[in-house]
Amino acid sequence: MPTTRICALVLAALAAPAAAQDAPTLYFSAIPDNDETKLEARFGKVADYLEEALDVPVEYVPVKDYAASVTAFRNDQIQLAWFGGLSGVQARLAVPGSRAIAQGMEDETFVTYFIANAETGLAEPEDGSFPEGLEGRSFTFGSQSSTSGRLMPEYHLRRITGEAPRDLFSEVGFSGDHGQTLRLVASGAYDLGALNYTVYDEAVADGTPEAEATDIIWRTPPYPDYNWTIRGDVDDRWGEGFAERVQQALIALDDPEILDSFPRSGFIAADNDLYMPIEDTARELDLID
């Protein structure tokens, strides 16, 4: 093979990875809805997957709480995020042009579980009606900005009882995340709590002591929840159609280990209109302007 041809092949081989290295890094994050170690393991693998699928550097940026994830998105410290329904609405309102691009298959019809410490003797009514005997007990939500851990359970509490949580219960707390809600109720620190159903189902499947020490006493009607949201200016940095490429990469994600860690059976396309019920509910409860 002529020397010039060899040189050309070598230069071409070197140029391809250099182009990927020269691309801006795509930073993404997620609401801290569970233990930090679980989130690091899950989203580290997502970063590796997206980096290979998109051929750009991708880095996961952990945040300390729900509000911090929205702030990071607003300040362009991250360009993509796995939000809950409410935090996604907050982020998109803060950055016009941003849009929800994907959701888990299970996120079309998400539910919240109300759980009780087993020693309370409370049980789930067989007909699915709201349980009696909750008044005067202690209750914990999850994060103050959580859709499944605060927004929807508070909405239904007010709708059904006609009372604000602080008037209904002897004490109201905010645990910070769903795993902590389960631990607090299991320990007896709170009689009752509301949390993401997938976190509780996973604890039951794993046979954890916390699941053994608690019982489901009510399930909310379904609502739209978690979503991948991307900033509206990503095409300006990574090229025309980049947002659609990210969307397609997420929809194509079929690694069982990654999906099980969410847990989701897969991701499907989403858009902002799907989350209007969440925005309307948040406005009704004065959680957003």
The residues with which 81 forms a beta bridge, in sequence order, are: 29, 229
pLDDT band at 90 (very low <50, low <70, confident <90, very high): very high
Indicate whether 31 pLDDT > 80. Answer: yes
pLDDT band at 269 (very low <50, low <70, confident <90, very high): very high
pTM score, whole prediction: 0.83
Q: Estimate the crossing angle of helix 276-284 against helix 152-161, to 10 degrees.
A: 60
CB neighbourhood size of 212 (10 A)? 12
Ranges of each domain in the chain: 3-108+224-284, 111-219
Chain-centroid distance of CA 38 in Å reads 13
pLDDT at 266: 97
Tokens coding 197 = 């159903």
The pLDDT of 236-263, averaged and rounded, is: 97
The DSSP letter of residue 263 is T
The pLDDT of 132-154, averaged and rounded, is: 96
pLDDT at 151: 96
Indicate whether 15 pLDDT > 70. Answer: no
Q: How far is CA 113 from CA 139, 148, 235, 283, in A?
A: 13, 9, 39, 23
CB 24 within 8 A of CB 237: yes
Indicate whether 4 pLDDT > 70. Answer: no
Q: List CB contacts of 198: < 8 A, sequence separation 6 or more.
A: 106, 262, 263
Q: List CB contacts of 162: < 8 A, sequence separation 6 or more.
A: none
Tell the CATH superfamily of the 3-108+224-284 domain.
Periplasmic binding protein-like II (3.40.190.10)
Architecture of the structural domain at 111-219:
3-Layer(aba) Sandwich (3.40)
CB 203 within 8 A of CB 211: yes
Indicate whether 21 pLDDT > 80. Answer: no
Indicate whether 102 pLDDT > 80. Answer: yes
pLDDT at 14: 42
Indicate whether 1 pLDDT > 90. Answer: no
Indicate whether 218 pLDDT > 90. Answer: yes
pLDDT at 36: 84
pLDDT band at 148 (very low <50, low <70, confident <90, very high): very high
